[in-house]
Amino acid sequence: MVRESESGLPVEPVYGPRALDGWDPAERLGEPGRYPFTRGVHPSMYTGRPWTMRQYAGFGTAAESNARYRRLIAHGTTGLSVAFDLPTQMGHDSDAPLARGEVGKVGVAVDSVDDMRVLFGGIPLDRVSTSMTINAPAALLLLLYQLVAEEQGVAADRLTGTIQNDVLKEYIARGTYIFPPRPSLRLTADIFRYCRAGIPRWNTISISGYHMAEAGASPAQEIAFTLADGIAYVRTAVAAGMDVDDFAPRLSFFFVARTTLLEEVAKFRAARRIWARVMREEFGARDPKSLMLRFHTQTAGVQLTAQQPEVNLVRVAVQGLAAVLGGTQSLHTNSFDEAIALPTDRSARLALRTQQVLAHETDVTATVDPFAGSYAVESMTDDVEAAAVGLMGRIEELGGAVAAIEHGFQKNEIERNAYRIARETDAGERVVVGVNRFRLDEEEPYEPLRVDPAIEARQAERLARLRAGRDRTAVGNALSALQKAAEGEDNVLYPMKEALRARATVGEVCGALREVWGTYVPTDAF
C-alpha cells in the first residue's frame, strides 16, 4: 500500500539511488533486508508494522510490578521489559546481609519461583514478549519464567522474549558480575544449547553496548566493544561444538540512543554492516538470519537531568526518533523523571505515548530507511565504522574480548572518553540545557515515586515461609546435582531447573555455583 504525505503526494515504500557516472551506490549500500543490512534487517521495516514498544519496569515487590505491567499492557505496550533489583542481579536473596537497603530499589525482587509466579500472574505468557535485564544469573530467571509458563499450560516453544545474559560487559562497565569470565562463558554456551533444544523462539542473549555508553563510551566505542563481546560469545559456542547457524539467528543486541541524532543513525547502520561481514567472513554463517544484527534500543538515561526534568520529554523524543530512523527492532523510551527516582505511572505512560506518536503521527514509518543516500549520514557511517573496526583490531591484538577485559583495555578507553565529556561539560563547551546553560534560579518541586522500605522485611518473611514449607532434602539433592554438573561438562541448566522447581532460591543456586566456580575479583586497569 502506497502512503500519502500531508500534501496528498505519494510516499514510496523504498527509495533508491540513481546510477551516476557509471557508479551505483546501491551496490555498496545494498537493499533493505539484504546483506550487508546497512539499510535495515527487514525489506519492509516499519511499513509493515512498527517496532515492538517495550517499557522497562520493575520495582518493589512482584505484586507491585505485576500491577504496573498490567497497566502498561492496557495502555498499549506490546512487550514487557523486566528490571530486577540489585540483590537479584548479583545472585543474593533478599534476606542476605549484602542485600540490606537495596531490596526492591532499582527493580523487582525475585527470590524464587513463588515471586516469579506473582510477577506474571494474570499475564498470558504465550501472548506477550518479555525481555529480562539480567546477566550473571540470567539462566535462573529464564528457568523461573519457563516454570511459571508450564504452570499456565504454555509450552516452551511458544515463549518469546530475551534475556540480556551479557556478562562480559559487566566486567567492562556495569559491575553486576558473579563468576569469573571463563565459567560465565561456559554458562552462556549452556543457555544457547538449552534454548536451541527447548525454547527455540527465545533470544538467548542481548549483547549490550547500552551500559558502556552510560559509563561514557563514545558511539564508536559502544559498537566496537559490543561487537567484540559478540564475537567472543560466538567463538565460545562454536568451540563447544555448536554450528553457528544453530544459534546465531537468536542473538540480539542492545544499544543506547543519544540526542546526537545523525551520529546515532550512522552508528546503527555501521554496526549492522560490521556484524554481517564478521559473521559471514569469520564464522562462515550461511543462514541470512545469522548475519542480521537485530537490536533493542533504550533512550539515554545518562543524558536525563534532575534539573528541569520536563525537558527530558524533549530529549527522549529526539532519542527515540534516532532509534527509529536507525532501524531498531524494539524500543524503550525513558520516563522524564528517571533522573530523580523510579518512574511514576503517569511518566511511564507519557514515555509510551512518545513512541506511539512517533509510530502513528509522523511519517517515519511510511518509507524504509529515510536517511539512505544522505551525504552526511553515509559519510558518518563510514567514519564510525572505520573507528569501530580499528578498536576491534586492538582487542584482537590483545587476544580477544576476554583477554582485553583482563588487561583493562575497554574499561580504560571508556573512562578516558567519559573524562573528556565531563571536562567539556564543566567548561561549558558541551551544552546541557538546564545544567550549564538556560538554568532556573529556583527549581520547581517534584514529588517522586518512593519505594516502601518495609518491602525488605516482607521479602524476608516470604523467604522464611518458603524455606519452612519446602522439602529440604529435595532441595539439597538438587543443588548437589547442580554442583556435579558444574564440576564436569554437562549442561547445568537441567539440574538448575530442577533445583528451582524444588523451590531453591536464587541465592542458594548462585551460592552452589560460587562454591565450584568461585567469584570474580576485578584487577586494577593498566
pLDDT value of position 450? 77
Q: pTM for this one?
A: 0.89
Q: Are 325 and 238 in contact (CB under 8 A)?
A: no
**Ordered DSSP codes for 268-285:** HHHHHHHHHHHHHHTS--
Locate the DSSP E strands across 446-487: none
Which residue, among 166, 226, 148, has the nearest Cα to 501 in the 3D structure? 148
77 exposed, middle or buried (CB, 10 Å; 0-12, 13-18, 19+)? buried
pLDDT value of position 77? 80
Which residue, among 77, 69, 132, has the nearest Cα to 352 in the 3D structure? 77
The number of residues making up the chain comes to 526
Amino acid at 505: T
Tell me, rounded to whole angstroms, the distance of Cα 427 from its chain centroid: 33
- Alpha-carbon Rg for the chain, nearest whole angstrom, is 23
Domains along the chain?
44-426 (3.20.20.240)
Q: Are 122 and 165 in contact (CB under 8 A)?
A: no
Phi, psi of 23 (to 5 degrees): -115, 125
Please provide the distance, in angstroms rounded to a whole number, between the alpha carbons at the two ends of the chain.
57
pLDDT value of position 499? 98
pLDDT value of position 27? 55
pLDDT tens sequence for the chain (526 residues): 567 777 677 888 887 765 444 445 555 678 999 999 999 999 999 999 999 998 777 788 999 999 989 998 888 887 888 999 999 999 999 999 999 999 999 899 999 999 999 999 999 999 999 999 999 999 999 999 999 999 999 999 999 999 999 999 999 998 999 999 999 999 999 999 999 999 999 999 999 999 999 999 999 999 999 999 999 999 999 999 999 999 999 999 999 999 999 999 999 999 999 999 999 999 999 999 999 999 999 999 999 999 999 999 999 999 999 999 999 999 999 999 999 987 888 998 999 999 999 999 999 999 999 999 899 999 999 999 999 999 999 999 999 999 999 999 999 999 999 999 999 999 999 999 999 999 998 887 877 777 788 999 999 999 999 999 999 999 999 999 999 999 999 999 999 999 999 999 999 999 999 999 999 988 754 3
Report the alpha-carbon distance of residue 338 to residue 346 in Å, rounded. 12
Cell numbers at 481, concatenated: 546435582
pLDDT value of position 30? 82
Q: Are 275 and 293 in contact (CB under 8 A)?
A: yes
pLDDT value of position 46? 96
Asked if the peptide bond before residue 445 counts as cis, ω within 30 degrees of 0, the response is no
Give the Å distances, CA to CA, from 464 to 107, 119, 155, 344, 467: 22, 19, 31, 31, 5
Report the alpha-carbon distance of residue 13 to residue 364 in Å, rounded. 11
